[in-house]
A and B are shown apart, each in its own frame.
Chain A
Amino acid sequence: MNLTRTVAVRLLVFVASLFAASIAIFLVVNALPGDVATAILGFGADPASIAELRARLGLDRPLLDRYFSWAGGMLTGNLGRSYLTNESVSALVAPRIGVTAWLVVVSMLIAPVVALPLGMLAAMKRRTWQGAAASTASQIGLSIPAFYAGILLVVVFAVTLRWLPANGYTDLVDATGRWRPVPFIQHLVLPVLSLVIVQSSVLTRYVRSAFIEVLSEDYFRTARAVGWTRWRALWRHGVRNAAISVVTVIGLQLATLLVGAIVVEQVFRIPGLGTALLSAVANRDLIVVQGIVMVLVFAVLVINLLTDLSYLLIDPRLRGRDAR
């Protein structure tokens, strides 16, 4: 009973946040000083052309009107049409979502796999050199900008060793329908690695402190009294208990991961949402900017929602008073 209520509240907050975010995005793009039409045509253009462009792009309609037609359009998947090419924004965005998604999802999956054992090591052996080394490595890893890690990786693996390409992207399935896993993976290794280096460093720190807490808990001592060695006791009983704080961080980090991906796409010239966003900014194609930012924010809010809901799965205490 309580469970349904909790879920319902979360969903409501999600929808409200989505709404609020869309308003914020729209206002920043459209309500701040600076005329789009002038920017597109250049400052030397004559007023008549500017006025004509404004009318054609619908920029002379009242703000509220424009917001509702944009927001309403979004509900049907229509993000408007590019100011420059008149192409549907959704058509522009759709194929790129997959590309960015590959980058983000793979990084998100690999980072915890690296961070968990590293964090456990850092916690268990924190008074020895192994723990200190793990801790230091993570400290350095999160001080590096992801794009710098990317550039360094390019210098090592692409320039010096020539094992991997320095930039570019190949679809997993090319235009003729043929599967091309090897070049696909080759092009993704370094970008994903740059993101993973930073993400796993951040996660390691949280995993470490979560496990240090577990080490001091009574139930850890009970587990050892049952006969588990330290490592196995930590694994069997620590992981679930540490999971909550770690999952929180993963959720919070997603926004950071997304922006990291945007920059990394630039470093490696990967045709994802990031590069599309940045070229739209350069071209003052504001409707595209609006659309892509909305998509990104939507993704972040969805992940936050899922993270919230996953707590209910992990921690039985949060499920409400149904247990007694």
Chain B
Amino acid sequence: MRRAGLWIGIVLVALVILAALVSLVWTPYDPLQVQPTQTLQPAGWPHLLGTDGFGIDILSRLLIGARTTVFVGVVAVSLAALGGVPLGVLAGMRGGWVSEIVLRVSDILYAFPALLLAILLAAAVGASTLTAMAAIGIASIPAFARVARAATLIVMTQDYILAARASGTSRWTISVRHVLPNIAAVLGVQASVSFGIAILAEAALSYLGLATPPPTPTWGRMLHDAQTYIFTSPIQALWPGLAIALSVLGLNLLGDGLRDHLDPRLREAA
């Protein structure tokens, strides 16, 4: 029963990644070809999910949208991890004022949610996928730094660390060979959570027109377009939102499942 969550999460996430990959080689219809005669067709046949206000097949646009979602998520989370993990490990290993500074700075960064940062960047240099990814990535650094630091602190109390230091191993080698592998699992959980947050942020930015510009379909943008037809064809809004919700749900379930899986083992190690 408890494992059900983890498996549902894995399936949902796999579906989204599959959609993104499939879209690279094939979509049922051309996602960019406007078909003025086919606008707002209902779901069914030949268009599985119907067509939008431009007559474009919704399913095809969803598949392409998955691409952006996955891409932005992966890049943003990677950025956050690359920035946050070294900071966190450093703070955990050094302690003292280094730790304090990292904590304080991450506190300040917490006051800037991804969206706000993205809006700032968009205002400064113009909106694009790049600004969205950069903003979301930077905004997620504190989360990774904190988790990495907390996990590092636990690892540092273990005997094998003392043994390594006693035998003269350099701090750098210790961090790479001993700390990182042992905090990897916890970081994996955080990555899952941050990915979900990244998707939500990207969707909001796309909705506001502050991420990937049209005509490339993104789920957020599709929701924005759907709002225009909300009185005539309300079902338009269902599909892209559902895609977003299921992706995030999948990632959250995955993260929770991983955490539950790790928890009893974490306690044993302590």
Which residues in A have some Cβ–Cβ distance to B below 8 Å?
13, 16-17, 20-21, 24-25, 28-30, 32-34, 39, 139-140, 142-145, 147-148, 151-152, 154-155, 159-160, 166, 252, 255-256, 258-259, 262-263, 266-267, 277-278, 280-281, 284, 286, 289, 293, 296-297, 300-301, 304
Contact = CB atoms under 8 A, between A and B. Distances in A.
B15 interface: no
Contact of A259 (B116, B125, B246): B116
B180 interface: no
Contacts, number: 129
A277 B119 contact: yes
Given A293-B116, A293-B120, A151 B110 contact: no
B73 interface: no
Contacts of B113: 255-256, 258-259
B240 to A, nearest CB: 8
Given A151-B227, A154-B230, A266-B207, A289 B112 contact: no
Contacts of B6: none
Contact of B241 (A145, A159, A166, A252): A145
Main secondary structure of the interface of A (DSSP, over half): helix
B208 A34 contact: no
Interface in B212-262: 223, 226-227, 230-231, 234, 237, 241, 244-246, 248-249, 252-253
A33 B126 CA distance: 10
B241 A151 contact: yes
B244 A148 contact: yes
Given A25-B120, A139-B252, A286-B124, A304 B111 contact: yes
A166 B203 CA distance: 21
A297 B112 contact: yes
B111 A142 contact: no
Given A28-B120, A289-B123, A262 B115 contact: yes
Nearest to A13: B104
B192 to A, nearest CB: 13
B200 interface: yes
B107 interface: yes
21 contacts: A16-B104, A20-B108, A24-B112, A25-B120, A28-B117, A34-B126, A139-B249, A143-B248, A143-B249, A144-B248, A145-B207, A145-B241, A147-B223, A151-B223, A151-B226, A155-B230, A155-B237, A159-B231, A258-B113, A262-B115, A304-B111
